[in-house]
Amino acid sequence: MSLIQHLKENKEKILQKWFEEILKTYPPETTQHLKKNNNPFANPIGHTLGESIFNIFEGILEERSPDELISDVDQIIKVRAVQDIKPSEAVNPVLLLKSIVRTEFEKIKNTAENREHYAVIDKIDHLILLSLDLYMESREKINEIKLSEYNRQYYRLIQRGNQGQNN
Amino acid sequence: MSKYVPTRKNLLKSIEEESNFLSGLTPEKEWLDTPISFRPGNWCHGGKPQVIESLDAPNPRKWSPNDKDWQLPANWQKIIHQGMKDQLDKSRTLKIFMDTCVRCGACADKCHFFLGSGDPKNMPVLRQELIRSIYRKDFTLGGKLLGRLAGAREMTEDVLKEWFMYFHQCTECRRCSVFCPFGIDTAEFTSMARELMHSVGVNINWIMEPASNCNRTGNHLGIEPHTFKQMVESLVEDIEDVTGVTVEPTFNRKGAEILFITPSGDIFADPGVYTMMGYLLLFHHIGLDYTISTYASEGGNFGSFVSHDLTKKLNAKMYHEAERLGVKWILGGECGHMWRVIHQYMDTMNGPADFLEEPVSPITGTKFENARSTKMVHIAEFTADLIKNDRLKLDPRRNNHRTVTFHDSCNPVRAMGMVEEPRYILKNVCNNFHEMPENTIREQTFCCGSGSGLNTNEYMDIRMRGGFPRANAVKHVHDKHKVNLLTAICAIDRVTLKTLMEYWVPGVEVSGLHELVGNALVMEGESERTEDLREDPLEEIEEDEDEDI
């Protein structure tokens, strides 16, 4: 059986597993709410994550190009970007699918000999995530210095504009 | 966020050892023991010393919430304890709220900050526990004897820091209170906590500086009278450019029938200024005898975000000005917390305003009996009454380029029941109107996420998170009905929803209600309108037999 065929047959189960893995880092009090409430407006995070991963997984099964899945990835990232987590954690939901798919793959094909290979690949994934954090750090620094340069340039003007305040 | 991104060594350590996706570990401690951590984006700057001094408020000093030492007064715990005792003695409701919660959880998933962050301390019940745990320790026998077993704990600096974080992650919107079977008002807890923190000098500059400016100059940016007047006059010129009509507002005119007070954001902020232009057109259209004050030049009451006394003082200013000018009554613009203060506090704080008359619309003769005591009428009610009595010439087709949805602002809807009037107006001034889903509007409305003095840009992460439930509902009508305009009757909304839309739902603009009224008003002697008040082109209107506008 091909992997895609196997994934299609186990779609519901895999999505459920994926969703639960994503919810795991939220505190337990929150996980209950994110899991159980089906109203999209009463549970915007759970709904957005659930809907996006469904669309992404379906896109993968239909062998669509990643470019076509961008709006769903964007939904996940937008939510994660304003939560108290690192960039690497924000993007991790996508990588979580990889380990789930690998487990499924091992069910249809014995790949024990590939374990060593996996260990190396995992390290590389880890480095990719680290790179993302560092990349963000650099981009944020650029924004910060842009803003402080702007403030310095207009310092007197702002000060003048503020006259009449604080005294 | 850049400062928050850790050093490489710490990053590696945290990824491998802390609870996160990669380590697969989840938080082990209970919420009560989970410490807070301040990172850029999740706290607001502390009150500046000169601002605190100008208000004669306690403990002025240069400090920042992410400092280890907050430079509290030596006896700060005693001050907090005494403050809590005073508040409990003064407010019976607060005492009842302290004791009645049965932790049923009805409020837990109703807070926009919880829904947007997933942080359990944003569940209203847990946010209240942050204070209740201290109340139990200090004021209940069970808490004194059993301590932690009875859910009690000591007041420590860590608890104070936790208060600072989470009582500034509550916008006092009161959505949770709608669902509480006991009607416990979480906003009262937040008010109490903020007042207690204020008593030891723990407050945020974005609240204190506007409050200080309102106190000294009359409006939150500290705009002086001549500048304030110039700003309104520049709007008069813009109105003339678009409509060919010259409106003639007056300032500080004694003997005018009505004093008009609106948030100062309507005078200088984008897109609030277009709402101001709408008011000016409306008043000209009906020939209202009104004046604008350059002293009571702010409707918003920034005092209400920090203390009872400051709320009272800033509110009194409006009434003193009405008395000085000798007007009959006050007409209030599209504001949020101004109306909560007027509708729920003014009467017992500064009222009744016996020196004014019971408001009567000079155009329709309608008596606003609901404002008998405060003598202040909401503009939405005033305009709805004009439309109902057929006193306005309106052409709603001039808003055909807008597909509109309405955001119920927390304070007008939940603190004064201003639900149907804005909708009635909207349906008369535009042709394309769609409601957001039922559990996100009217009394169940979601906050903008930036109210109660949190609309400062260093707080952007928290604001975008808290605004997500609202944005999620706007996205729904944007996708389904192609909504491109979000209308609201609150000045903080007009500023912050625009930012929220830029992040979550690009393509949706934000406006006030009276901007759309201004667009639709057919003015006497006007030139042909080709642009709306923003100077955006109108959709071409096909003239047909339907000329009876």
Q: What percent of chain B is modeled with pLDDT above 70?
A: 93
> Could you give the ipTM of this predicted complex?
0.84
In the prediction, which pLDDT does B225 show? 92
Mutate to test the interface with A, among B12, B22, B178 (most CBs of A within 10 A): B22
Segment 509-548 of chain B within 8 Å of chain A by CB: none
Q: What is the pLDDT of residues B465-518, one digit of tens each?
A: 999 999 999 999 999 999 999 999 999 999 999 999 999 999 999 999 999 999
Is the confidence at residue B132, as pLDDT, over 50?
A: yes
Mean pLDDT across the stretch A56-72? 93
Interface contact flag, A43 B503, Cβ < 8 Å: no
In B, which residues are within 8 Å of A30 by CB distance? 114, 118-120
Fold classification of B396-520 is Rossmann fold (3.40.50)
**Which residue of chain B comes nearest to A132, CA vs CA?**
B5
Q: What percent of chain A is modeled with pLDDT above 90?
A: 43
**Which residue of chain A comes nearest to B218, CA vs CA?**
A165
In the prediction, which pLDDT does B140 show? 95
Nearest CA to B387 among B426, B345, B355? B426
Interface contact flag, B118 A78, Cβ < 8 Å: no
**Which of B15, B462, B464 is facing A88, going by the closest CB pair?**
B15
Nearest CA to B154 among B68, B73, B77? B77
Interface contact flag, B11 A92, Cβ < 8 Å: no
Which positions ≥6 away from B252 have C-beta within 8 Å?
B225, B291, B292, B293, B294, B295, B325
- Residue extents of the structural domains in chain B: 1-30, 35-203, 218-388, 396-520
In A, which residues are within 8 Å of B50 by CB distance? 166-167
User: What distance in Å separates residue A78's CA from the closest CA in chain B?
Assistant: 8
Q: Are strands B485-488 and B509-512 parallel, antiparallel or unpaired?
A: parallel
State which of A146-155, A158-167, B266-275, B431-440 shows the largest mean pLDDT: B431-440
In the prediction, which pLDDT does A105 show? 87
In the prediction, which pLDDT does A83 show? 87
**Which of B2, B42, B503 is facing A144, going by the closest CB pair?**
B2
Is the confidence at residue A157, as pLDDT, over 70?
A: no
Interface contact flag, B465 A83, Cβ < 8 Å: yes
Asked if B409 contacts B493 with a C-beta cutoff of 8 angstroms, the reply is: yes
In the prediction, which pLDDT does A160 show? 64
Angle at B253 between CA B522 and CA B332, to 5 degrees: 55
Q: Strands (DSSP E) along B414-526, which ranges?
A: 485-488, 509-512
In the prediction, which pLDDT does B316 show? 96
Tokens matching residue B440: 């996100």
Nearest CA to B225 among B296, B177, B163, B294? B294
Interface contact flag, A44 B468, Cβ < 8 Å: yes
Segment 116-135 of chain B within 8 Å of chain A by CB: 116-120, 123
Tokens matching residue B119: 């942080």
Q: What is the pLDDT of residues B226-249, one digit of tens each?
A: 999 999 999 999 999 999 999 999
Interface contact flag, B119 A27, Cβ < 8 Å: yes
Mutate to test the interface with A, among B2, B206, B268, B499 (most CBs of A within 10 A): B2
In B, which residues are within 8 Å of A33 by CB distance? 108-109
Interface contact flag, A79 B26, Cβ < 8 Å: no
Nearest 10 degrees: Cα torsion B234, B261, B245, B544: 130
Interface contact flag, A166 B119, Cβ < 8 Å: no
- Which CATH number does B35-203 carry? 1.10.1060
Hey, is the C-beta of B473 within 8 angstroms of any chain A C-beta? yes
**Which residue of chain B comes nearest to A133, CA vs CA?**
B5
In B, which residues are within 8 Å of A83 by CB distance? 117-118, 465
SS3 of chain A: the string is: CCHHHHHHHCHHHHHHHHHHHHHCCCCHHHHHHHHHCCCCCCCHHHHHHHHHHHHHHHHHHCCCCHHHHHHHHHHHHHHHHCCCCCHHHHHHHHHHHHHHHHHHHHHHCCCHHHHHHHHHHHHHHHHHHHHHHHHHHHHHHHHHHHHHHHHHHCHHHHHHHCECECC
In B, which residues are within 8 Å of A94 by CB distance? none
Segment 234-263 of chain B within 8 Å of chain A by CB: none
A-B C-beta contacts closer than 8 Å: 130
Interface contact flag, A82 B48, Cβ < 8 Å: no
Which positions ≥6 away from B459 have C-beta within 8 Å?
B41, B42, B43, B44, B206, B450
Q: Is B206 helix (H, G, I), strand (E, B) or coil?
A: helix
Mutate to test the interface with B, among A18, A137, A144 (most CBs of B within 10 A): A137
Interface contact flag, A27 B118, Cβ < 8 Å: yes
Find the radius of gyration of the CA atoms of chain A: 22
Distances in whole angstroms, Cα of residue B69 to Cα of each of B49, B66, B158, B287: 16, 9, 11, 59
In the prediction, which pLDDT does B23 show? 46
- Residue B4's pLDDT band (cuts 50, 70, 90): very low
In the prediction, which pLDDT does B21 show? 43
- Residue B12's pLDDT band (cuts 50, 70, 90): low
In A, which residues are within 8 Å of B221 by CB distance? 165
Q: What is the pLDDT of residues B391-400, one digit of tens each?
A: 999 999 999 9
User: What distance in Å separates residue A161's CA from the closest CA in chain B?
Assistant: 10
The whole-chain average pLDDT of chain B stands at 92
In A, which residues are within 8 Å of B34 by CB distance? 27
Class of residue B506 by CB neighbours under 10 A (exposed 0-12, middle 13-18, buried 19+): exposed
In A, which residues are within 8 Å of B1 by CB distance? 136, 140
Judge if the upstream peptide bond of residue B249 is cis by omega within 30 degrees of 0: no
Interface contact flag, A92 B19, Cβ < 8 Å: no
**Which residue of chain A comes nearest to B438, CA vs CA?**
A41
Distances in whole angstroms, Cα of residue A80 to Cα of each of B13, B39, B110, B291, B483: 21, 16, 20, 49, 25
Interface contact flag, A166 B476, Cβ < 8 Å: no
Interface contact flag, A26 B123, Cβ < 8 Å: no
Angle at B41 between CA B163 and CA A43, to 5 degrees: 75
Interface contact flag, B472 A40, Cβ < 8 Å: yes
Hey, is the C-beta of B23 within 8 angstroms of any chain A C-beta? no
Interface contact flag, B465 A41, Cβ < 8 Å: no
